[in-house]
Structure 1
Amino acid sequence: MTASEFQVQGLLVSEIAAEFGTPLYVYDADVLHDVYQGLRDRMHPAVDIFLSLKANPNISVIGFLGTLGAGAEVSSLAELETARRAGIAPQNTIFLGPGKTRAELEACVAADLHAIVCESLDELKALDDLAVAAGRDRLPVMLRINPEFHTKGSALAMGGKPRQFGIDVAELRASQQLLKGLRRVHVMGLHAYMGTRFLNHEDLIHNTREILAAADELSAETGIELRTVDFGGGFGVPYFSNETGLDIPALTDGINDAVGEFLQKHPGCRLINELGRYLTAPCGTYVTRALFVKESMGEQFVVADGGTNHHMAAVGVGSFVKRNFPVRSLTRYAEEPVRTYTVTGPLCTPNDVIGKRVALPPVAAGDLIGVELSGAYGPSASPGLFLSHGFPAEVMVHNGTAHLVRRRDTIEDLLDKQQLIVF
């Protein structure tokens, strides 16, 4: 322990690591609360905030946000069951995804969700058949649309161009006979999601205005009732040194103005803003322990017990240029950086680098190294089975107490699904 050691709600990170081992993810419930509540307090009361479980499917993270009022956006049977066990009411849950299986559609019909989000007309017809077979009446469905406009500023565009997501607006306009012929499905709203990691509030305001305008226009043209409109999310987090975080006051003021105008035409419509990364990334720190510090051809390396097998997002997947997430010495958290290190994990690949030439205080074997802003797309987007290391422990600190919210994989966990043939 050093005087400058990183703490979570007064708990020393070395004590957390000693109790639960490394590598691990540590989630700070106070930060989770403050991010959600800070947005909730500023957002128009007609807008419900839903957590997109793909960002962090840990049941305690979901359950805690649920106690604050968050709903759940799920995209698999496991996520659906996770939300249920976490205490999220079915009426605060929506199920979306471009490739739902028959088993998933049947589960959605049985679950009495707020809405199933259909992403193709064939899916809509299949769901209508299942609703008839199940004896369901007025099964609530939203249609995910692929609008014709494009919003700049996203790190990954998910609409406004040819995509597997949603129904093209032109196709929907030409499908009014199909909509009128539905027997048990009740189309009660529209959904659009245009992209991820927006960091400019003006782009997100434009995105919101365009989606709401498209919903209003399509409702008038097709007769679709607008009981709910999901205008997506995509709020970004400034991972890299050249990025600036969203101006939340300006963002919410602009969204609230757009929402207010929309509600004048559609009073009582439920609006959903689905967020993942923005809600959960700030609360998480990936904690790994330095095993060796070595020099190779003039470059200093820290070889740690965890790396991209647990935190593939830190590699910069999807980016043309590798940029470092915020990497800090947790053992010497308050000390000034004096040298640069490349921080790697234990994998047998040169790509296992979680920080390239990172400025840090002096690092010694046994020190704890942390990757900050790691509460989203950590284990869920990482190759945890590579080299059979398995997935790490996850810990949430709540009211000053560290709770194990996912135990680390054991060797038996990794092997018990395999079957040895007797040769």
Structure 2
Amino acid sequence: MPNWNELLQGKDEGLYIYDLTALKERAKVLSDSRHRIFYAVKSNSDLRVLKTLMPFVDGFEVASRGEIEKIRMMSRDIPIIFGGPVKTQEDLKYALEKGVTSFNVESLFELDELQTLSVEKDCHLSIQLRINLADIESDATLKMAGVTQFGLPEEDFIQAVELIQSSNHMQLSGFHFHAMSNNMNVSHHVSYVEAACDFVKQHQKLLPPEPVINIGGGFGIDYQQEKTFDMAHFMNLTEDSSVLTLEIGRWLTGPIGYYAAGVYDIKEMHGQNFVLLNGGTYHFRFPKAWFHEHPFLVVKRQQKRSRRKTLQQVKAVIAGKLCTPNDVFGPEYYFEDIATDDLIIFKFAGAYGREISHLEFLSHAKPKILYI
């Protein structure tokens, strides 16, 4: 754990800290795997983070032109998989111009565009059709399969296969599955892999000898217990399976990031305690989005203002500096001892933190980033 007082001396406005050494250590756990490891850029698209991961991964999974641009700023040829449910003609055209040839496809409209563009540019594309498997057992926080908007509808599947087979520029290289997000149950994930492999076997005659079996990601973090999915156990249990493609995001970057902000004020309003930060959910929206008590620590600091307020052994709502009552970090948090000018540091803020936040709201300053 860093020496927070030394690292954040003189700082009280909200900022992120990314531990790049810890990131390398997590990435090394994956680098010896027989499976193909792609980093899901949506988790954390910071360029220093991407550059740190590049030597350890087989490529990057992206879902926008902006994410493609960031990867191509680092490398002109590292493999990219382009996913996402709505890819417009301009999105696909940009991807092809940037050398992207692998696509997770979940729409006949997308296939129509790829067929036209691949002929125009005379390029050959690897297509993985996204399959929405039903009845996947999961305790994951978010369900990504079943009754969701993701994947190719069953009635479109045969038409999609026929369209690819009729093309001289597209090959059905395999299938893409992504059934859960933030799963902690290894056995459920292994069962899901088995279901995906069974689907591939059922349609083997449509595929090349060594098809792509892209199971997406979904490897989770238990934010309350501060544990991560047991990746080593999962890798061991899937050692004898077909070679998988994994798109890993949260598991890699979540634990290596922190969001810190100084305590500006403490209030008691109509029986409710509030701790107001010089920052807020516009920097770090994740605890509000999931409405959970995010793991945190309090760093005691010397009072620098003449006025001082404190709370001890009580619960309080953590709030930010936005002009809305919605700028709160989930439910009440218990504080053993906190005072104005102390720091609150939220742990596990390296994934879906800055990236999903409302950084433009009120035109406040964007959070700075410290790298350690």
TM-score by length of 1: 0.79
- What is the one-letter code of the residue matched to 2:262? R
Of 13-22 and 348-357, more deviation after overlay is shown by 13-22
Q: Does the CA contact (< 8 Å) of 2:164 and 2:170 recur in 1?
A: no
Q: Cα gap change, 1:300/1:21 in structure 2, threshold over 3 Å: closer, same or farther?
A: closer
3-state SS of paired residue (1:117): strand
CA distance in 2, matches of 1:212, 1:293: 55
Percent identical across equivalent pairs?
28
Tell me the CA shift for residue 188 of structure 1: 1.7
CA distance in 1, matches of 2:326, 2:362: 14
Q: How does 1:400-411 map to 2 (within 5 A)?
A: none
Is residue 2:233 matched to residue 1:250? yes
Q: How does 1:261-410 map to 2 (within 5 A)?
A: 262=242, 271-315=244-288, 317=289, 319=290, 322-331=291-300, 338-354=313-329, 356-397=331-372
CA distance in 1, matches of 2:196, 2:284: 33
Q: Does the CA contact (< 8 Å) of 1:148 and 1:169 recur in 2?
A: no
Q: Cα gap change, 1:117/1:188 in structure 2, threshold over 3 Å: closer, same or farther?
A: same
Of 202-211 and 148-157, more deviation after overlay is shown by 148-157
CA distance in 2, matches of 1:357, 1:96: 37
Could you tell me which residue of structure 1 aligns to residue 36 of structure 2?
A: 48
Q: Does the CA contact (< 8 Å) of 2:45 and 2:355 recur in 1?
A: yes
Could you tell me which residue of structure 1 aligns to residue 130 of structure 2?
A: 144
Tell me the CA shift for residue 284 of structure 1: 0.6
CA distance in 2, matches of 1:283, 1:386: 26
Q: Does the CA contact (< 8 Å) of 2:255 and 2:347 recur in 1?
A: yes
Deviation per CA, 1:345-366: give whole Å up to 9, x if none: 1122222222543233422221
- What is the one-letter code of the residue matched to 2:278? D
Tell me the CA shift for residue 176 of structure 1: 4.3
Q: Does the CA contact (< 8 Å) of 1:24 and 1:286 recur in 2?
A: yes
3-state SS of paired residue (2:85): coil
Could you tell me which residue of structure 2 aligns to residue 240 of structure 1?
A: 224
Q: Does the CA contact (< 8 Å) of 2:39 and 2:57 recur in 1?
A: no
Q: Gapped runs of 5+ residues in structure 2?
A: 302-311
Could you tell me which residue of structure 2 aligns to residue 416 of structure 1?
A: none
Could you tell me which residue of structure 1 aligns to residue 163 of structure 2?
A: 178
Of 200-209 and 244-253, more deviation after overlay is shown by 244-253
Over the residues paired in the alignment, what is the CA RMSD in angstroms? 2.4
Tell me the CA shift for residue 143 of structure 1: 1.8
Deviation per CA, 1:82-120: give whole Å up to 9, x if none: 112234x63421111111121211122223335122211
Could you tell me which residue of structure 2 aligns to residue 203 of structure 1?
A: 188
Q: Does the CA contact (< 8 Å) of 1:310 and 1:384 recur in 2?
A: yes
Please, which of 134, 140, 154 is the counterpart of residue 140 of structure 2?
154
Q: Does the CA contact (< 8 Å) of 2:172 and 2:207 recur in 1?
A: no
CA distance in 2, matches of 1:152, 1:294: 41
Tell me the CA shift for residue 21 of structure 1: 5.8
Deviation per CA, 1:202-253: give whole Å up to 9, x if none: 1111111111221222232x34564422111100101125x86433343222
3-state SS of paired residue (2:199): helix
Could you tell me which residue of structure 1 aligns to residue 150 of structure 2?
A: 165
Is residue 2:26 matched to residue 1:35? yes
Tell me the CA shift for residue 149 of structure 1: 4.2
* Corresponding pairs, count: 362
- What is the one-letter code of the residue matched to 2:237? G
Could you tell me which residue of structure 1 aligns to residue 82 of structure 2?
A: 95
3-state SS of paired residue (1:90): coil
TM-score by length of 2: 0.89
Q: Cα gap change, 1:229/1:344 in structure 2, threshold over 3 Å: closer, same or farther?
A: same
- What is the one-letter code of the residue matched to 1:49? I
- What is the one-letter code of the residue matched to 2:326? N
Q: Cα gap change, 1:16/1:244 in structure 2, threshold over 3 Å: closer, same or farther?
A: closer
* Poorly superposed stretches of 4+, deviation over 6 Å: none
